[in-house]
Amino acid sequence: FAIRHFGATVPYNAANFCDKNIDPIDKEIISLMQGCVANENGRFLASLFAQPMSQHRSISFKFRDEMSDLVETLQQCDGHFIRCIKPNDERRPFHIDEITTRAQLQSCGVLEAAKVSQAGYPKRIPYRDMFAIFMGQHALRRTRAQRSETDRKKLVQSLAVKVLRLKYGGSAAEDTNDFALGRTR
């Protein structure tokens, strides 16, 4: 599998991960943690070790189970992302390397988002929703399988131009300066 990071796509190989990482969890650590049960906060620690001790649990199997739980939790959440920008390669405090910083901001899409916000385009409506507004839910259901996102974008663009012409008059060249269309909205 591969993970697409902001700078590049990084391939990973998880083949034989569990076979290579069979280090057992130290029994003394498990005993120490289970010994905390007597304390008031021990209920939480006890819940971590609800499995019978006879079962051999390696660190990699425990890691796999925890990762599965994490993925399940993340799928139930709304994600919010923070973009971290490294101001300079030398790790000097209070110094910003403009070229490096600008490249990172460009790569993350921050500059383009700032331009859109600065231009004052207040609505960011997905094409599917715009299509439903202009064409109605019935048309959306009827043509869902037939229309790709690109088709919806073209249709929304032509409809927006027509609406602007009806409301304000003018030519198509003037109309397209009053709105901007992105990849998905």
Query: Could you tell me the residue ranges of all domains in the chain?
Result: 2-75, 81-120, 127-175
The pLDDT of residue 139 is 54
The pLDDT of residue 44 is 62
Tokens of 83: 């973009």
The pLDDT of residue 69 is 86
pTM here is 0.30
Task: Give 10-residue mean pLDDT values along the chain (185 residues).
Answer: 84 79 77 63 62 64 85 79 86 92 87 73 69 62 56 74 70 58 68
